[in-house]
Chain A
Amino acid sequence: MADGVSQNGFSIIGKPLAMADAVAKVTGIGKYADDLYVPGMLIGKILHSPHPHARIRSIDTSRAEALAGVKAVATGNDARNPYGILPIGHDERALALDKARYIGDNVAAVAATSAEIAEQALDLLRVDYERLPAWFDPEESMKAESGWIHEQRPHNIEKEYHHVFGDPEKGFAEADFVAEERYYAGEVNQAAMEPHSTLAIWEPHDRLTVHSSTQVPFYLHRTISEVCEMPMSQIRVIKPLIGGGFGGKSEIIPLEVAACVLAKKSHKPVKITYTREEVFLAHRGRPITIVYLKVGITRAGKITAVQARVIQDGGAYCGYGPVTVLYSGALLGAIYDIANVRYDGFRVLTNKPACGAMRGHGTVNVRFAFESMLDQLAHQAGLDPLEVRRINLLKAPCITANSLRVTSYGLPECIEKVFERSNWKEKKGKLPYGKGVGVACSHYVSGAANPIVRSNMPHTTVHIKIDRDAAVTVYTGASEIGQGSDTMQIQIAAEVLGVGVNRIKLVAADTELTPIDLGSYSSRVTFMAGNACLNAAKDMRDQIFAAVAKKLGCPPADLVAKNDRIAHSTDSAKGVSFDEAVAIALEFHGALVARGTYAPPESARGGNFRGAGVGPSPAYSYSAQVAEVTVDPETGHVHVDKIIAAHDCGKALNPLTVEGQIEGSVYMGFGQALQEDMVWQDGRLMNPSLLEYRIPATKENPQIDSIVVESIDPEGPFGAKEAGEGSLAATIPAIANAIYDAVGVRINSVPITPDKILEALRAREKAGQRAETNSLTPEARP
């Protein structure tokens, strides 16, 4: 529990509260980037490569430039500086300079007075391409001896990491049961409902104002400066309302820099909005992941060793790639008490759109593999798979084998909650053929303890201002993307200052007005911006208390702030209204200004080995889930009847939002488990639309019962941890394990489509086995 804050008697914390921006959203008043129009605004369009790998010999822009209404045409030469979200991965350019590396790569851009003219101009561009050999399969790509996608990345390997903790050989020798399998997860896209959009406005005095659909306005700020060769002080980035992110807007997306380059070149406002197809081509989703997994357990169910070789198909650019593959290793075993782990992770380049940091970043596909295998081993050992998870729990607080510090651990309670709610004992292994239940667990970081760009600066700073109107204005860099960031900080400030939420105004994510926050990714906002806001509010409260105490003639420590009053804790008649208190404090200080920051403590920052920087977090969330399914053995169709999801979020600052986050995570896991899959043919995405890439609609989505577990983290704001991502990873293996319980086949490849189930059922029939079957060998897609 955060310093000086009791768990009792909250006025606002822990109460379900409508989002602060809900009315703006339900009335249509709220503005997303594409809703912005300014006088003289040009429309930008991007020319995409039709080839998966090609040298660009020349681009003839003359005919496009001559078209009436065209105000600027840009190519790679207009912005030569490379960029990328990671300091070690600056391999992207606003527009391709020498080579196009995937179908959809950005080759040129135009700005014109209308969308129609911009599109005509794209047709007038003449690009001379020299086609090059291309790689589409990650395991093939790793064998490449020449013609690499990026010359500086031999054998198309972006990064590889090799970690050993404990003694895996000894661990496997001690095991009574050892399983070894290959798992495969297809590629999925965030598919946020809002397609990306950026409005870049060229301003007087050579300044640039950029409104963009971004989860990371401050990284965008820095990148524009690098690419456009302008000082950061000349650039302002504003995040408007964001129509969903899930990681798809958590790094710099090509249209953002292209719009800025066109605005700089035309000296006009330029807006670019992606079509849905372009959203899929810009991508940054979850990579195709191949997991070779080996796990050993004793007869009693104790895990003795884990070994994983993970290959991720990262696409043509680095993006967050090295972080993704490190998360896969760091969070693979750390959920349980496992002493011996070997991890070999490979991030591989292919000629496809770049993957990125999708919800549950790096943890989801390995969790599917691990939790499926744990289920398989439990059955081999004749143990209840839920009991096997109980047997392997950590004894928190503790440090895991890979140096992750665990401060609070609600997993045991999550398991007990889903055990009870699902009536597990009566159902597991006891339902009629075709019906089944499955259990799985997951965990996730509450923000990364080490920032992307290494420094000792705070990860976030919040300012609070109060002046004569006695309104409380919170200035925060944190990015509301629909997850409740703004509301969370309003609640914290209101609770500490003892005022109603309506008194709080919040200014967020504007590089000119708000202090820096690293962004909405890795589930860091509640923990980090929440703590910074808490510290700022306490600073403000201290200033007001000091002034009021002097007036009342009592020590500041005797005062409490509640119900818009500052009063004596034991004699409530002795006190002043909040407005009076502000007036008193203003006499002492002038306009009141307070600041709060947050940086993770040294003890949370992890080990010293290569790659140890990714995985450490100040706190981890935990989830346990039970899925109930009905499988039709004739068609292979799976109906998920219900998912019971318990999530340890530390403390639910706003239970309504926390439940919404759990349900949204489960929903996204459900989509990946059964139906979402990006289908590739020679580097071409065959289903770049929401008609063909099917995210679940109301008719497919299961009943979701969310259960909030509160472990009260010692360092979280009011004990809170993350809620927005951790539940996703448990859903997929819970469904896979339930399918096994229903029809007795294991499908080690997601999405689990009817054809895979039918194939496994037929294979079992052929083998004449009714009991434990060997798993279906997952086939990598062509």
Chain B
Amino acid sequence: MDKQLIRLRINGEVHEIALSPNRLLLDALREDLGFTGSKRGCDDSSCGCCAVLVDGTPMLSCVALAASYENCKITTVEGLGGPGNLDSVQEGFAEMGGAQCGYCTPGFMIATKALLDRNPNPTLDEIREALSGNLCRCTGYMQIYESVKYALERHGSISSSVRETPSTQAPAVR
């Protein structure tokens, strides 16, 4: 399939890349742009590891065609915050044991971010509901709830819009 030049707005920066129309957003992020924070954990959109925010709504990037998201604001885990300026959600998952192996963590944090942006004071049931599309095999979820509560307590001071921070694109082994 012929490639097309498309522009993706990721973590506040515009990236212009040539992609096949059938290129999945997850592959574009990971392989074409180096945003490897979003993970692939399944074959059938069942695990949530690849979730990114699209205009503030969590979406599974493994079943999204990159070319369909040209005019959207995409936020990956790299866009939440980097070392030294962690978002309260990242701080919560780091401090409270929400990340053991860390593989599902980006997806959980994206889902948490979206939850807290639309509901700054969720109940435990609402947290369970909001995170029910993500699977974690390590924690038994208890410390994930603690991580969300930690973020909740600190969320007030943070802008409720998706932050447009420069990407902290990590270098690959090159």
Residue A300 at the B interface, CB < 8 A? Answer: no
Determine the distance from Cα of A276 to Cα of B39 in the docked complex, in whole angstroms: 13
| Interface, chain B (partner A; CB < 8 A) | 30-31, 34-44, 46-47, 49, 76-78, 80-83, 86, 90-91, 93-97, 99-106, 109, 127-129, 131-144, 168, 170, 172-174
Q: Which residue of A lies closest to B136 (CB)?
A: A193
Residue A458 at the B interface, CB < 8 A? Answer: no
Closest CB in chain A relative to B78 CB, distance in Å: 5
Q: Which residue of B lies closest to A699 (CB)?
A: B132
Are B168 and A29 in contact, with the CB atoms below 8 A?
yes
Are B129 and A666 in contact, with the CB atoms below 8 A?
no
Residue A755 at the B interface, CB < 8 A? Answer: no
Closest CB in chain A relative to B97 CB, distance in Å: 5
Given contacts A19-B99, A27-B168, A697-B133, 14 further A-B contacts (CB under 8 A): A22-B99, A26-B93, A27-B78, A28-B76, A32-B103, A657-B97, A659-B143, A664-B138, A667-B141, A690-B44, A697-B135, A698-B128, A698-B141, A704-B142
Pick the residue among A26, A195, A657 that contacts B94 (CB under 8 A): A26
Are A32 and B137 in contact, with the CB atoms below 8 A?
no
* 3 A-B pairs with least C-beta separation: A28-B37, A482-B101, A243-B103
Determine the distance from Cα of A246 to Cα of B82 in the docked complex, in whole angstroms: 29
Cβ contacts under 8 Å, B173 to chain A: 31, 36-38, 211
Q: Which residue of B lies closest to A665 (CB)?
A: B140
A–B pairs, 28, beta carbons within 8 Å: A19-B100, A21-B102, A22-B95, A26-B105, A27-B82, A27-B83, A28-B76, A28-B168, A29-B78, A30-B102, A34-B39, A34-B40, A35-B172, A37-B34, A37-B173, A38-B173, A193-B47, A193-B49, A194-B41, A194-B101, A241-B101, A243-B104, A275-B43, A668-B140, A689-B46, A690-B41, A698-B144, A704-B140
The answer to whether A246 and B137 touch (CB under 8 A), given A18-B95, A23-B94, is: yes
Residue A244 at the B interface, CB < 8 A? Answer: yes
Residue A663 at the B interface, CB < 8 A? Answer: yes
Q: Which residue of A lies closest to B84 (CB)?
A: A23
Q: Which residue of B lies closest to A242 (CB)?
A: B101
Closest CB in chain A relative to B99 CB, distance in Å: 5
Residue A25 at the B interface, CB < 8 A? Answer: yes
Q: Which residue of A lies closest to B31 (CB)?
A: A37
Are B90 and A193 in contact, with the CB atoms below 8 A?
no
- Most chain A CB neighbours (cut-off 10 Å) among B49, B105, B131: B105
Determine the distance from Cα of A211 to Cα of B173 in the docked complex, in whole angstroms: 11
Residue A39 at the B interface, CB < 8 A? Answer: yes
Pick the residue among B43, B95, B100, B128 that contacts A482 (CB under 8 A): B100
Cβ contacts under 8 Å, B144 to chain A: 698
Are B94 and A36 in contact, with the CB atoms below 8 A?
no
Closest CB in chain B relative to A772 CB, distance in Å: 33
Q: Which residue of A lies closest to B106 (CB)?
A: A28
Closest CB in chain B relative to A467 CB, distance in Å: 25
Are A697 and B90 in contact, with the CB atoms below 8 A?
no
> What number of residue pairs across chains A and B have CB atoms under 8 A from each other?
201
The interface bits of chain A over 237-255 (1 if a CB of B lies within 8 angstroms of the residue's CB, else 0) are 0000111111000000000
Are B129 and A35 in contact, with the CB atoms below 8 A?
no
Cβ contacts under 8 Å, A484 to chain B: 100
Residue A66 at the B interface, CB < 8 A? Answer: no
Are B36 and A35 in contact, with the CB atoms below 8 A?
yes
Are B46 and A26 in contact, with the CB atoms below 8 A?
no
Are B38 and A193 in contact, with the CB atoms below 8 A?
no
Cβ contacts under 8 Å, A96 to chain B: none
Closest CB in chain B relative to A271 CB, distance in Å: 11
- Most chain A CB neighbours (cut-off 10 Å) among B100, B104, B143, B172: B100
- Most chain B CB neighbours (cut-off 10 Å) among A22, A37, A656, A665: A22
Are A244 and B168 in contact, with the CB atoms below 8 A?
no
Tell me which residues from 638 to 696 in chain A have a Cβ below 8 Å from any Cβ of chain B: 656-657, 659-660, 663-668, 689-691, 695
Are B135 and A690 in contact, with the CB atoms below 8 A?
yes
The answer to whether A664 and B105 touch (CB under 8 A), given A27-B90, A698-B131, is: no
Closest CB in chain A relative to B35 CB, distance in Å: 7
Q: Which residue of A lies closest to B167 (CB)?
A: A28
Residue A481 at the B interface, CB < 8 A? Answer: yes
Cβ contacts under 8 Å, B138 to chain A: 193, 244, 482, 660, 664
Tell me which residues from 31 to 56 in chain A have a Cβ below 8 Å from any Cβ of chain B: 31-32, 34-39
Residue A483 at the B interface, CB < 8 A? Answer: yes
Are B136 and A26 in contact, with the CB atoms below 8 A?
no
Are A28 and B35 in contact, with the CB atoms below 8 A?
yes
Closest CB in chain B relative to A693 CB, distance in Å: 10
The answer to whether A38 and B100 touch (CB under 8 A), given A244-B138, A246-B137, is: no
Are B139 and A664 in contact, with the CB atoms below 8 A?
yes
Q: Which residue of A lies closest to B173 (CB)?
A: A36
The answer to whether A28 and B40 touch (CB under 8 A), given A664-B100, A691-B46, A699-B132, is: no
Determine the distance from Cα of A403 to Cα of B160 in the docked complex, in whole angstroms: 62
Are A689 and B135 in contact, with the CB atoms below 8 A?
no
Determine the distance from Cα of A87 to Cα of B11 in the docked complex, in whole angstroms: 51
Are B42 and A276 in contact, with the CB atoms below 8 A?
yes
Determine the distance from Cα of A698 to Cα of B47 in the docked complex, in whole angstroms: 12
Determine the distance from Cα of A663 to Cα of B137 in the docked complex, in whole angstroms: 11
Residue A191 at the B interface, CB < 8 A? Answer: yes
